[in-house]
Amino acid sequence: MADASNSINDVNPNRWALQLALSAVGIALATGALFYFTTRDLFNRPQASQTPRVDPMSNVVSLEHGLTVYAKNCALCHGPGGLGDGASAAQLNPKPRNFSTGWFKIGDTRSGLPTDEELAASIRRGLFPTMPPWPQLSDGELKSVAMAVRHLAIEGQVNTRLSRDSKMSRQDALKIAHERLDSGPLIALPPKPAKIDLARGKAFYLNNCAACHDPDGRGRLRDDLVDNEENPIAARDLTSGLFKGGTGVEDIALRVVRGIPGSPMPAPVEISADDLWSTSAYVRTLSKGKETATLP
Ligand code: HEC
Ligand code: HEC
């Protein structure tokens, strides 16, 4: 009996305490879970100030959307119809682009307007110092506004033709506008040579580019350059690290092959792949350290 009572006294209180502890933990867990699942919506509900901007239009890609984005953000400089005659245009040099002329400084095509992707990229990047960048536009807004630029270019060209020739039909004017402004074939850069020869690039640069950009690349010696609207324009200081069309060696190669339409910067009629890549790489070294682009 003593044994039995001993065993009750020794074992049962421990078991009882363990069970009590376990049920207490169980109840706590169950209550916590119940509380969490019934109230989590309250906890997760964002504060008014944290509500992300949910613009149902921001992902829509359409011309109509693009024209709205354009009217809100771009017309001030480029004018309501994209003719470069916005209210702020007079104070700017270089002037805001008149899209209907079809000349674009930064492009990836052999003729006509740049592709929509290239247009979107240069709108996003801006063209310092007078065309601001647009980091705040959503991808949908950006793609749409590139469509708007293309549309305004065509319409502007049609209207110019109709006003010059009263007998021309809109259909004929539209056909000519498309022939002139639709994007031509993509420019294919030649493959990069296995080895980039910077000395060769420097020699090509001194013979073909230094007349405008100066032998040291600073672009200070010429003050007589004008763009195709007779506004003064400086050859770029190639040591500044500032590029309108992107900082990569490929971007520079594209500028060299295509030139910069509307500016005095010419496109070489013929350039070998070796000269192209070594000169572009050499130009990139002039602003070494100022940008993050990969250097040879
Ligand atoms: C503050 C004035 C200003 C605003 C606002 C502005 N632009 Fe421009 N934009 C310019 C100027 C100036 C140029 C010409 C820059 C140059 O030639 O270096 C230009 C050039 C361009 C070009 C031609 C790029 C090329 O390769 O030649 C496009 C396309 C363009 N802008 C689209 C837009 C769009 C789309 C918007 C609105 C989202 C916009 N711009 C807003 C001033 C402006
Ligand atoms: C007749 C004068 C002239 C010659 C020759 C010339 N350039 Fe230019 N270049 C310019 C002008 C002007 C600009 C500025 C255009 C602008 O800002 O709109 C420019 C701009 C550039 C830019 C800046 C591109 C960018 O994305 O902003 C590069 C790079 C460049 N030139 C490289 C060259 C190279 C390489 C050569 C020789 C193969 C060359 N240039 C020959 C006048 C010239």
Domain count for the chain, please give it: 2
Residue 135 and residue 168 share a domain: yes
* Alpha-carbon gap, residue 246 to 249, rounded angstroms: 9
Over the stretch 170-217, which tens digit does the pLDDT of each residue have? 999 999 999 999 999 999 999 999 999 999 999 999 999 999 999 999
Ligand 1 binding pocket includes 113 (Cβ within 6 Å)? no
> What 3-state DSSP class applies to 220?
coil
User: 219 pLDDT exceeds 60?
Assistant: yes
Cβ atoms of 235 and 218 within 8 Å: the answer is no
Domain closes at, from 135, 152, 181 = 181
In this structure, are residues 127 and 46 in contact, taking their beta carbons and an 8 Å threshold?
A: no
Any residues with Cβ below 6 Å from ligand 2, and which? Answer: 105, 208-209, 211-213, 225, 233, 235-236, 243-245, 252, 255-256, 260, 263-266, 268, 279, 283
Based on the domain organization, do 174 and 202 belong to the same domain?
no
- What pTM was computed for the model? 0.84
Judge whether 39 lies within some domain. no
**Contact (Cβ atoms closer than 8 angstroms) between residue 293 and residue 247:** yes
Residues 91, 152: one domain? Answer: yes
Q: Report yes or no on 2 lying in a domain.
A: no
Residue 96 Cβ inside 6 Å of ligand 1? The answer reads: yes
Residue 104, domain member (yes or no): yes
Which among 128, 155, 181 is the end of a domain?
181
Q: Are residues 170 and 205 in the same domain?
A: no
**CB of residue 104 inside a 6 A radius of ligand 1:** yes
Residue 29 lies in a domain: no
Whether residue 202 sits in one domain with residue 162: no
**Residue 246, domain CATH:** 1.10.760.10
Model confidence at 9, pLDDT cuts 50, 70, 90, reads very low
Confidence at residue 56, expressed as pLDDT on a 0 to 100 scale: 78
Taking residues 32-48, what's their average pLDDT?
50
pLDDT of the residue at 36:
53
pLDDT of residue 4: 44
User: Is residue 142 situated within a structural domain?
Assistant: yes
Residue 268 lies in a domain: yes
- What separation in Å is there between the alpha carbon of 210 and the centre of ligand 2? 10
Q: What is the mean pLDDT of residues 67-91?
A: 97
- Residue 88: CB within 6 Å of ligand 1? yes
Closest ligand 2 atom to residue 106 Cα is: 26
The reply to whether 122 and 202 lie within a common domain is no
Whether 28 maps to a domain, the answer reads no
Q: Which of 128, 148, 181 is the last residue of a domain?
A: 181
What's the CA-to-centroid distance between 236 and ligand 2, angstroms?
6
Are 110 and 185 contacting, i.e. CB atoms less than 8 angstroms apart? yes
What spacing in Å lies between the alpha carbon of 123 and ligand 1's midpoint?
7
* 213 lies in the same domain as 273: yes
Indicate whether 7 belongs to any domain.
no
Residue type, 114: P
Q: Are residues 157 and 208 in the same domain?
A: no
Structural domain boundaries, residue 247: 198-286
Q: Same domain for 120 and 215?
A: no
Q: CA-to-CA distance for 18 and 127, rounded, in angstroms?
A: 74
